[in-house]
Amino acid sequence: MLPITTVQRGKRPLEWVKKWPGADLINIRIVGFGSVVLLVSPQAHRDVLNTHAADFAKPDAGLNYLRGLLGDGLILVEGIEHKRQRRLLDPSFKVQNIRALQVLIAEKSEIMMERMLAESKTTGCVEIASWGSRFTLDIIGPALMSIDFQALTSNANELERAFANLIAPSLGQSILFLLSFFLPQSVVRSIPCHTNRMLAENNSVVRTICRDILDKKLATFTSNKDTKDATADILGSIISNGELDKQELVDQMVTFLAAGHETTAASIAWVTHLLTLPKYQHYQTKIRDEVRSALQQAGHTDLTRPPSWEILETLPLVNGICEETLRLYPPVPNTARKAIRDSQIAGRNLSKDTIAIIVPWVTNRNPEFWGANAEDMVPERWISEAADGTRRPNKSGGATSNMCIQTFLHGHRACIGRELAKAELRTFVAVFFTRFTVRRLPGDNGHVVPAGSLTIKPDGGLKVSLEPYEDE
C-alpha cells in the first residue's frame, strides 16, 4: 500500500518500470483509492491521450485544489468548455506568432545577463531559479497583455513575489493537496492554518493585478476596437472574440501567467544544474563555440548578441541540450486522468472511475525507450549527422514513438505553450553559456532535490558563480 506522494515523486514508479519491462500498465494500490494504473507503454499513453481521450477527465480532487489557485482557465476545464477555450487560444500560440516574439525574448535575455552580472559582482553568486522566473514573467507579460512587469529591473515586483509564494514547495501545501482527495474543497480551504492564509493573500494579489490590467485593457479595446492595437496581444485577441466574460478572462490571465512563466523558469534552473555538474560542464565550451561560429557565419561581428530565430533553429547542440533538459526534468512531473466511462487501454478493459496516472518523469527516463543511459544527459540523441558530416537537430531523440516523451503531453490536452517554452529556453542557453562560464559554489556537491507544487525546481534554489567569458 503506497501513499500517493510516492507516486507523485516518480522514484518508485521508475523502479517498477525497470522491474517489469514491456508492461503496458502497472496496477498500483494506494490507500483510500480504488483502481489505479500507471501508464507505461506508448500504446497506453496514446489510448488515454488520443484514441480514447473522450473517456477520461482530470480527477475532481486535484482539479478542485488547483482551481482554487488558477480558476477555470484552459489547464483545468474539461469537455466542451475545454474545446471552446482551446479553439479561442490556439491561434495565438502558432509557431509563426511565437517566432514574432523572438525579438522580445532576445531583448529580455540581454537585460537578464546584465542584471545577473551586476548581482554576481556584488554578492559573488546568483540564484538562477528566481532570475529565471523574472525573465519569463517579463516575456509572458508583453505577449499576453502588452504589459512589461519589469521584473528583471525591479527588486520588489509584487506579482513575481506572489507567484513565488504560491508555488513554493511546502509541507503545508502537500498536506492540503492530499486532504483534497478525502474532503470537500470547501472544508480544506476553511482549515485555519498559515498555508491557507498565505494562499488566500497571494491569490488575492495576483487576481487584483489581473483585474486591474483587464479593466484598462477593456477600456482601451473599446476606444480602439477598429484598430489593430487592441488585438496585438493574446488577451486582446480573446476579448475581440467576445465569448469569454470578465471572470473567465481573469482566470485565463492567471493561468497563463502562472503556467507561462514558472514552467520555463524551472527548466532554466534545471539546465543550469546539469551544465554545472562536472561530467557535463564541458558542454558549456561546446555551446559557446557553436553559437559564436553560427553568428560569424551569419556575418555578425558582435559574438555576444542573442542569436536570431533562424540561427537558433540550426544549432544542434543547443537544441539537443534543451531537449534533454526537458526530457530529464519535465516541469510538471506527473498528472492523472479518471475514466468517466468504461474504456480500454492497450487492449485491456478499464472500468469507470479507474485512475490512470501519467508520470512524464518516468516515461522520459524509461530505459526501454531511451536505452541504458536513459537517466544521463546525452544531447547527441537529438542530433542527426548527414553523410557529409553536417549536423542538424532532430525531433525524436532516437525514440521510436512520440509517446516515449511526455514533457508536454499529447493530444487535445497537449501544452499549448510548448513552442514558447522551447524558444525561451534555447535563447537562455545560447546567451547565458556564451557570455559566462558558470560554476557551482564551493561545497555544492551537485545533489539536488526536485520540489514544488505546480512545477518542480531544485529545492532551496540553485546558486552559481559567473565568470564573464573573454576572448583569449
DSSP string, 235-275: HHHHHHHT-S-HHHHHHHHHHHHHHHHHHHHHHHHHHHHHH
Buried b (16+ CB within 10 A) or exposed e, 123-134: eebbbbbbbbbb
DSSP string, 293-314: HHHHHTT-S-TTSPPPHHHHHT
Exposed, middle or buried: residue 223 (CB in 10 Å: 0-12, 13-18, 19+)?
exposed
Confidence at residue 227, expressed as pLDDT on a 0 to 100 scale? 54
Confidence at residue 228, expressed as pLDDT on a 0 to 100 scale? 54
Whose CA is closest to 243, among 364, 393, 86? 86
Q: DSSP 3-state assignment of 373?
A: coil
Cα 235 versus chain centre, distance: 20
Give the strand pairing for 355-358 and 335-339.
Answer: antiparallel
Read off the C-alpha cell for 425. 529556453
DSSP string, 12-28: HHHHHHHHSTT-SEEEE
CB atoms within 10 A of CB 38: 24
Measured between alpha carbons, how far is 191 from 122 in angstroms, rounded to an integer? 43
Q: pTM for the full model?
A: 0.93
- Cell 509563426 locates to 96
Residue type, position 190, single letter: S
Q: Rg for the chain (alpha carbons), in Å?
A: 22
pLDDT tens, residue by residue, 209-245: 999 999 988 888 777 655 555 567 888 888 888 888 8
- Averaged pLDDT in 10-residue chunks for the chain of 472 residues: 44 92 92 86 98 94 84 91 92 93 97 98 96 95 92 87 83 86 88 94 94 90 61 83 88 90 93 98 98 96 93 97 98 92 96 95 97 97 92 94 97 94 98 98 93 83 94 58
Architecture of domain 11-445+464-468: Orthogonal Bundle (1.10)
Q: What torsion do the CA atoms of 346, 349, 355, 358 make, to the nearest 10 degrees?
A: 0
Give the strand pairing for 383-385 and 391-393.
Answer: antiparallel
Q: Domain segments of the chain: what residues?
A: 11-445+464-468
Confidence at residue 62, expressed as pLDDT on a 0 to 100 scale? 79
| CB of 466 closer than 8 Å to CB of 438 | yes
First and final C-alpha spacing in the chain = 60
